[in-house]
Structure 1
Amino acid sequence: MQNPEYTKYGLHGKLTAQQGKGDELAAILLQASELLKTAKGCHLYVISKDHQNADTVWIYEVWDSKEDHDNSLQLTGVRELIGKAIPILAGQPEKGVEFTVLGGTGLN
């Protein structure tokens, strides 16, 4: 059952780097996570490496709203980091999975 007082916007994405560039991609995304610590509406921005493929990086995000997420792309430094990540990706980024976050441990 959905808690209407808590409902948040969630996004789970997968990025695959060119062979051998997974650590570099993860480092760029971890830099982004530092910038997002103060972003309006950001509750969670977690970067993870895939155990099955060292060049695959997962991003798990929880925001107050999709609008807050979209606005975060305009923060100083974020576009520059995107510009560093794009050339090392293995193809186009996959569209992330959007979902409604209902609650859970570690979310405020």
Structure 2
Amino acid sequence: MKYLLNGKLTARPGHQDALAEILLEASKLVASARGCHLYVIGKEKNDSQSVYVTEIWDSKEDHDNSLKVAGVRELITQAMPLLDGPPAKGQELEIIGGVGV
């Protein structure tokens, strides 16, 4: 069963774009990681602080191993000072079905 993670990160005021750029760099790094099917970054039109990450992996183990991809830890280190508080635990969702899964 595939693993879906939907997360929301809240940037400090004025840092949403910088946080999104770091996450976009992370998406490039994990694109070739084992089990990665989707890693997309989004934001709401009327919310100047939140950045959303939606990921689909073959398994939670593959997701966890993506943190070991070269460069990912460095990007996490860059992102942490931009956050308005500690990151919240993402929603781990069971995929029921749909296009592309």
Which category describes the TM-score, using the shorter chain as reference length?
over 0.9
Residue 18 of structure 1, aligned match among 6, 12, 18: 12
Runs of at least 5 residues in structure 2 that lack an aligned partner in the other structure = none
1:20-50 deviation per Cα after TM superposition (whole angstroms, max 9, x unaligned): 1000000000000000110000000010012
TM-score, normalised to structure 2's length? 0.95
Task: Return the offset for 1:106.
Answer: 3.0
Normalised by the length of structure 1, the TM-score is 0.89
List gaps (5 residues or longer) in structure 1. 1-6
Aligned residue runs from structure 1 range 27-106, under 5 A: 27-106=21-100
Greater Cα radius of gyration, structure 1 or 2: 1
Q: How far, CA to CA, are the matches of 1:46 and 1:12 in structure 2? A: 10
Runs of 4+ in 1 over 3 A off after TM superposition: none
**How many residue pairs were aligned?**
101
Describe the SS at the equivalent of 1:43: strand
Cα distance in 2 for partners of 1:102, 1:39 equals 23
RMSD over aligned CA atoms reads 0.9
Q: Secondary structure at the match of 2:98?
A: coil
Distance 2:60 2:46 in 1: 30
Between the aligned residues of both structures, percent identity stands at 56
Matched residue SS, 1:57: strand
Q: 1:54 and 1:106, CA in 2 relative to 1: closer, same or farther beyond 3 A? A: farther
